[in-house]
Chains A and B, each alone.
Chain A
Amino acid sequence: MMTSSSAPFFRVGEEDEYGQHPSVLQQPSSAAPASSSATVAPQKKKRNLPGKPNPDAEVIALSPKSLLATNRFVCEVCNKGFQREQNLQLHRRGHNLPWKLKQKNPNEVRRRVYLCPEPTCVHHDPSRALGDLTGIKKHYCRKHGEKKWKCDKCSKRYAVHSDWKAHSKICGTREYRCDCGTLFSRRDSFITHRAFCDALAQENARLPAHGLNTSFGGQLYANRTLNLGLPQLNPTQLSSLLRTTGTGAAGASQFDHVNMATASSSSSFRQPPPPQQQQQQTHPNSAFFLGGSSYSQQGFNTEELLQSKPFHGMMQLQDLQTVSANNAATSSSAANLFDLGFFSGSAGNIDNVNHMMNNHIDTNMPSPFYNPSLQGEHEQQQQQMPATALLHKAAQMELAAPTSNFRPSFYMGGRESGSSRSQLEQENHFQDLINSITNGNGSGTLVFGNEQMAAFGGFNPAGLDQESKLHHNLTAGGRGGITRDFLGVGGMVRSMTTAGGVHLGVENINSMDSEMKARSFGAGRIQ
């Protein structure tokens, strides 16, 4: 317990292992590089350069105990502790005790510098003494003290309370930005993302940089973003971009980034057509057009051809017009996707696309409207049937008696045309089982059947008429082929419930439950 004196920081009476006499006026200048001027102007409080203490100053070496002590001034009445004597005096007023605020006489006061008691510390040497008591206390705590304060969110530890408070304010508000443009509020998701991010994959191996900080400068430097230019984005990535745009900042920034890249200049696409083609070949299921102008070389399989056809009939010009209007827009919609895909700065393509849309029914052609947001799961692509064709087929089925063609695959995965014999047998087996269950209760009683039949009821008959011609095409394409794609209502209906089919007639399907409505992603809202 310290007595209140004018110089409370003298260690008078305190034990100290360093044995220094506090009031020795040392002249550290012999050891110190006294580059600062020797004379001190007493009027103004002069700050020394950091690391170069005032050679005239009085050197104080406090013990760890006194450094760590808080509230050394204690009120005799209520035992409340205070850090400063002034505060104690003010408090004493409240007890009606005599109090006196002491003034420091600037003429008399000596500069004091403080030493760190830890012998291994650099500040233990008088030539590296610290000029501030608070400073030395914080230093000691930080470097040599126990870290008692811990951040709630990230569990970083601090010895000094104010450090901890300062950190808590910032923690969680800091955003990490990956080179690919995604924003993260959590460090761990950021790190994990970064490790697998395509943006990282594009960079050359850097010199080993310790820790993350050096590498995550995090700006979207224009040149680098070009690596994420459209040709390199595969369908799944772009579709996920689209999908996430509506769901939060991360998605938005991702998407904005992509838009920026493409809107900046068409010449920014580094990738020339050839790699594009390669890419197409390795992703034969991609109905997703990846920019550039060489349409004719896409090698899509017939299933997608069939699938893409009806779309054109429904969705032509209206969408193209929206698209052209949105050429530089940053809104997230399939229209924009189309923008990215086709226009790359040149408006002349609109006519081309129109032309192609109308005429290329019979040739292989990518359909950008083919809901890209579905392509996350490639397995769905092969099984999807555009809603219009589904409708027609369902209508057909309702009219006809249930046939053996109607094979409820019951949510089975094996629907590819390459399904094995045993697969078919198995499904027949299922059919028997289920028929026995349903007592031959006709078509559409399976899992998906009921929902869909009800949904079909709400459909625009005009749509059906339009599609009868297409249906012709479809059936002409090989009956066996079609029924094998979706082995019965289960398959068709299944794809119906996925947004690929939904977004076509979504406005008309009143009876669809909200689950399915929600499934019409942003990309599907083509009005």
Chain B
Amino acid sequence: MDGSAEEEEEEEDDFHCSTSSHLPASSSNRHLDVDVDLSSSSWAPPLLLQCARAMTSCDARRARRLMWTLNELASPYGDVDQKLAAFFLQALLARASSSGPLTLRALADAARRNRSFDATRRTALRFQELSPWSSFGHVAANAAILDAFFSSSSSSTSSLHILDLSNTFCTQWPTLLEALAMRASDADTPRVSITTVVVSASSVQEEVMGEIGRRMERFARLMGVPFRFEAVHRPAGRDLSDLDLDRLVSEGGGSAALAVNCVNSLRGVPAVGSHRDALLAAFRRLNPLIVTVVEEEAELSTPKGEEEKEGDAFLKVFRESLEFFSTYLESLEESFPRASEERLALEREAGRAVMDLVACPAAESAERRDTGARWSRRMRTAGFEPVEYCDDMTDDLRALLRRYREGWSMRAGGVVGGAAGTFLAWRDKPSVWASAWKPAMRN
């Protein structure tokens, strides 16, 4: 076992972590050959970061040592640190062996094969029950859509078409339909049609969406809302930037007011090149009534994919991913009960995202999140301007947060890098960004 005194002297300075309690004399730490206080509350990120650094600087011995240590401690069933160690170490190994995409596909296959309508529904709904992580964006977006619809002249045409690009399986829409039904008078409940675009490769997903569609239609009938639903499937790997938007929209209802809803979907469009800008420009050409964007806050988009090969760019993405998933897993841990199938499913999903970010090329990545500030710049470039959240809406959001456990708060976009919209923060760390946009008036 590598643990001899000579080895320790050779350690580089940055092997010491700030949390170190200097226990090199203790047998356990000597054994592990690491000068990190493992009883501190977040030992995993420093170790993982050092491991990544060692890898990029080709320090094989050190990398191996760190990997061994991490391996000793990691577990996907442990605490947050152990989970982080498990996911990120697995990804680093895949990166080292250039087997990222393969591993990712295997992981995805395993998950997809068993993703029934029931399991999907359960996971999504339980998550929304226990954590505002996804419901925050939904509430914000729905409020913006309703507000825009009812205060626009097109409410006289009483027809709303929603182009839905999201990964939350239409769980956003029942509350919108209900609110619409409540707000309209009996005589003229607006017609609603939803075209939802799903990135999927499997037939299982299609079945799931089919079932979802049926239930939505039934529910709308219950609400007394004239309703149409369509699910469009895009194979994985094909991003949204070449959707035939015009066709989708015209089929939905030509004269209807159009709301474009993007929840966690823009990050799937490659940041490399001009794909993202192209998609947003395409949205602008549709001249929608409103565009709602919900994304997770993390700076993981590198503008040029090639830079990933370089150590610095990779390390930056690695560090940001560590921070983001650390927050995410911690919030999951605090929100769900101790033993929860749903949380496990969400964590596994996070593990796949980590694999994607660390071991797979950026050009094919579906996980390249970006900051609200940067998305805001893109939206403005594309010809949109922000719709301010009115007081009522922020009140609603605050009321939403009160229904969950402690730890959540809201932050205005402006204070987080000058973004539009608003942020959901977990323990003061901005995590989810929600914003609304309308076409900017041309002068």
Partners in one complex: yes
Interface check B315, CB cutoff 8 A: no
**Least CB distance, A252 to chain B, in whole angstroms:** 15
Query: How long is the Cα–Cα vector from A390 to B341 in the complex, in angstroms?
Result: 22
Contact for A211 among B223, B392, B399, CB less than 8 A:
B223
Considering only residues 384-407 of chain A, those with a C-beta below 8 Å from chain B are none
Q: Is the CB of A192 within 8 A of B402?
A: no
Identify the closest chain A residue to B181 (Cβ). A211
Q: Give B51-71 as 1s and 0s: 1 = Cβ < 8 Å from A's Cβ atoms.
A: 000000000000010011001
Q: Is the CB of A410 within 8 A of B64?
A: no
Q: Is the CB of B403 within 8 A of A518?
A: no
Q: Is the CB of B116 within 8 A of A422?
A: no
Q: Which residues of A contact B49 (CB under 8 A)?
A: none
Q: Give A147-168 as 1s and 0s: 1 = Cβ < 8 Å from B's Cβ atoms.
A: 0001111110000000000000
Interface check A142, CB cutoff 8 A: no
Q: Which residues of B contact A518 (CB under 8 A)?
A: 338-339
Considering only residues 419-467 of chain A, those with a C-beta below 8 Å from chain B are 419, 422-423, 426, 429-430, 433-434, 436-439, 441, 445-448, 450-451
- Most B Cβ at <10 Å: residue of A186, A426, A451, A497: A426
Considering only residues 394-433 of chain B, those with a C-beta below 8 Å from chain A are 395-396, 399-400, 402-403
For the A-B complex, the count of residue pairs with Cβ-Cβ distances under 8 Å equals: 180
Query: How long is the Cα–Cα vector from A206 to B219 in the complex, in angstroms?
Result: 10
Q: Give B186-204 as 1s and 0s: 1 = Cβ < 8 Å from A's Cβ atoms.
A: 1001000000000000000
Q: A154-B399, A188-B135, A414-B107 are in contact. Are A208 and B224 (CB under 8 A)?
A: yes
Q: Which residues of B contact A109 (CB under 8 A)?
A: none
- Chain B contact residues: over half helix, strand or loop, or mixed? helix
Q: Is the CB of B106 within 8 A of A423?
A: yes
Q: Which residues of A contact B76 (CB under 8 A)?
A: 411, 447
Query: How long is the Cα–Cα vector from A206 to B118 in the complex, in angstroms?
Result: 24
Query: How long is the Cα–Cα vector from A191 to B125 in the complex, in angstroms?
Result: 11
Considering only residues 184-212 of chain A, those with a C-beta below 8 Å from chain B are 186, 188-189, 191-196, 200-201, 203, 205-206, 208-212
Q: Is the CB of B128 within 8 A of A189?
A: yes
Q: Is the CB of A446 within 8 A of B341?
A: no
Query: How long is the Cα–Cα vector from A210 to B178 in the complex, in angstroms?
Result: 9
Q: Which residues of B contact A200 (CB under 8 A)?
A: 215, 218-219, 222
Contact for B119 among A210, A378, A521, CB less than 8 A:
A378
Interface check B309, CB cutoff 8 A: no
Q: Which residues of A contact B96 (CB under 8 A)?
A: 433
Q: Is the CB of B90 within 8 A of A191?
A: no
Q: Is the CB of A413 within 8 A of B64?
A: no
Q: Is the CB of B111 within 8 A of A243?
A: no
Q: A192-B175, A237-B118, A416-B110 are in contact. Are A515 and B125 (CB under 8 A)?
A: no
A residues neighboring B (CB under 8 Å): 150-155, 186, 188-189, 191-196, 200-201, 203, 205-206, 208-212, 215, 234, 236-237, 240, 243, 247, 285, 373-374, 376-379, 410-416, 419, 422-423, 426, 429-430, 433-434, 436-439, 441, 445-448, 450-451, 497, 499, 515-516, 518-519, 521
Q: Which residues of A contact B64 (CB under 8 A)?
A: 436-437
Query: How long is the Cα–Cα vector from A426 to B111 in the complex, in angstroms?
Result: 19
Contact for B75 among A191, A445, A447, CB less than 8 A:
A447
Q: A200-B218, A412-B103 are in contact. Are A521 and B339 (CB under 8 A)?
A: yes
Q: Is the CB of A206 within 8 A of B396?
A: no
Identify the closest chain A residue to B344 (Cβ). A377
Identify the closest chain A residue to B117 (Cβ). A196
**Least CB distance, A390 to chain B, in whole angstroms:** 16
**Least CB distance, B170 to chain A, in whole angstroms:** 9
Q: Which residues of A contact B224 (CB under 8 A)?
A: 208-211
Interface check B23, CB cutoff 8 A: no
Q: Which residues of A contact B135 (CB under 8 A)?
A: 188
Q: A379-B110, A437-B67 are in contact. Are A411 and B86 (CB under 8 A)?
A: yes
Identify the closest chain A residue to B130 (Cβ). A189
B residues neighboring A (CB under 8 Å): 1, 64, 67-68, 71-72, 74-79, 86, 90, 93, 96-97, 99, 102-103, 106-111, 113-114, 116, 118-119, 121-122, 125, 128-129, 135, 139, 171, 173-175, 177-178, 181-182, 186, 189, 212, 214-216, 218-219, 221-224, 337-339, 341-342, 344-345, 348, 392, 395-396, 399-400, 402-403
Q: A150-B395, A437-B71 are in contact. Are A414 and B109 (CB under 8 A)?
A: yes
Q: A206-B221, A414-B106 are in contact. Are A379 and B392 (CB under 8 A)?
A: no
Q: Is the CB of A410 within 8 A of B77?
A: no
Q: Is the CB of A429 within 8 A of B97?
A: yes
**Least CB distance, A263 to chain B, in whole angstroms:** 25
- Most A Cβ at <10 Å: residue of B72, B111, B178: B178
Identify the closest chain A residue to B135 (Cβ). A188
Q: A376-B119, A377-B114, A378-B119 are in contact. Are A191 and B99 (CB under 8 A)?
A: no
Q: Is the CB of A376 within 8 A of B93?
A: no
Q: Is the CB of A240 within 8 A of B122?
A: yes
Q: Which residues of B contact A210 (CB under 8 A)?
A: 181, 186, 189, 223-224
**Least CB distance, A40 to chain B, in whole angstroms:** 40
Q: Which residues of A contact B106 (CB under 8 A)?
A: 412-414, 419, 423
Query: How long is the Cα–Cα vector from A210 to B226 in the complex, in angstroms?
Result: 12
Contact for B114 among A155, A208, A379, CB less than 8 A:
A379
